Amino acid sequence: MKQTQLISNTKIQQLLNNIKNLDYSIVSSYLSNRIKNYIELSNKKGGIIGLSGGVDSAVTTMLLANATKNFYILLMPSSTTPKKDIEDSLEIIRKINAENKYTIINIDDIVEKISYDISTNDKLIIGNIKARIRMTLLYAYAQKLNYLVIGTGDKSELLLGYFTKYGDGGVDVLPIGDLYKTQVRELAKYLNLPDYIAYKPSSPALWEGQTAENEIGLSYETIDAILYLRVEQLMTVEEISSELNLDINIVSKIDTMIRQSQHKRLPPEIFRLSGRAINSDWRYPRQWT
C-alpha cells in the first residue's frame, strides 16, 4: 500500500487526534521537573545532551534548559550531517541563550579510523559506529562535568528498536521516552520551536539521504496509530488491521519489530545459576536502605 493512501486514512487521522490530545503545558513542566529531580537524586550537577537539529533532541534540549541552568550541548556532525541540521541546532542554542554552553566536535576522523581498522564500508555498520562514538563523547563530557547523559529517544523509536544499541540508546535517562513521535511534534510546537524543526522528517542522518520513514517503510502517523492500539489498548494484530483498515502485513511488521528489539530495551541477559541472579527484575533488598 502506498504511503499517501495510509496518511489519508481517516481512521488513523481520528486516532492520532486522540493520541495528540494532551495538555502540553503540564507535560512540559512535569518532564522538566522530573529531569531536575532525577539529576539531584543522582547527586549530579547537571545534564549533557547531543543536539542533532532533529525534533527529539530539540525538544529534550528545551526541557533540559527549563530544568536546570547546568546543561551542556554537544554538536557532533559527520560528513552525512545536513548543513541545515547544524544551522537549526545553532538556532536553538541562540534561542535558549546557550552560546557559552556548547561545543562542536566533528566525528569523521574517528569514524574513518575505525572503519579503516575493521575494513568496512557497510553503511549500517558505519552508521552504528557513529552513534556509538557520539555516546562515547557524551559520556566523556558527562564525567568531566559531573553531569548525566540526557537521552532523546521517544516511545515510537524505543518500541520499534529504531536506535543503535549502546549508541543513541546508551544514555542515563529518557525524558521523552513515554511520548510517541507525533506527540513529541506537538510538544515541540508548545515549546515554540519553529515548524521546520517540529515537522522535520525524522532522520538519524547516519548515511546520506536516510530518513526514518523510508528505512522503516511507513509514516510515523501509521506507526504511532498501530503502536498505540497494540501497546496502550492491547489489541491483537488482526483487530488493529480491521480497526485501521490496514493490510495485516503492515501491522504484523510493526509487531515483529517490537518483539525483535526487546533485547535493546533490557539489560543483557544473565543465565540464572543462583536464586539471586542480578537480572532485570533484581533490586537491592528493601532492608538494605
Ligand X SMILES: Nc1ncnc2c1ncn2[C@@H]1O[C@H](COP(=O)(O)OP(=O)(O)OC[C@H]2O[C@@H]([n+]3cccc(C(=O)O)c3)[C@H](O)[C@@H]2O)[C@@H](O)[C@H]1O
Residues that bind Mg ion (CB under 5 A): 52, 54, 203
Q: Which residues contact 55 (CB under 8 A, 6 or more apart)?
A: 181, 184, 185, 188, 193, 197, 198, 199, 200, 202
Residue 230 annotated as binding site? no
Given ligand X, Mg ion, ligand ATP, none, residue 76, with its beta carbon under 5 to 8 Å by kind, binds ligand ATP
Q: How far is the CB of 109 from ligand X (least distance, A)?
A: 20
Q: How far is the CB of 148 from Mg ion (least distance, A)?
A: 21
Q: Is 204 in the site for ligand X (CB under 6 A)?
A: yes
Summarize as ranges the residues that interact with ligand ATP (CB under 6 A).
50-52, 54-57, 74-77, 81, 134, 152, 157, 168, 202-204
Residue 132 annotated as binding site? yes
Q: Is 165 in the site for ligand X (CB under 6 A)?
A: yes
Q: How far is the CB of 205 from Mg ion (least distance, A)?
A: 6
Residue 57 annotated as binding site? yes
* Residue 131 to residue 135: CA distance in whole angstroms: 6
Please count the CA atoms within 13 angstroms of the CA of 166 that sit on its side-chain side. 5
Q: Is 180 in the site for ligand X (CB under 6 A)?
A: no
Q: Which of 57, 225, 237, 87 is nearest to 149 (CA)?
A: 57
Given Mg ion, ligand ATP, ligand X, none, residue 75, with its beta carbon under 5 to 8 Å by kind, binds ligand ATP
Q: Provide the binding-site residues for ligand X, judged by CB under 6 A.
A: 124, 127-128, 131, 157, 162-165, 167-168, 204, 206, 212, 215, 263
Binding residues for ATP: 50-57, 152, 181, 203
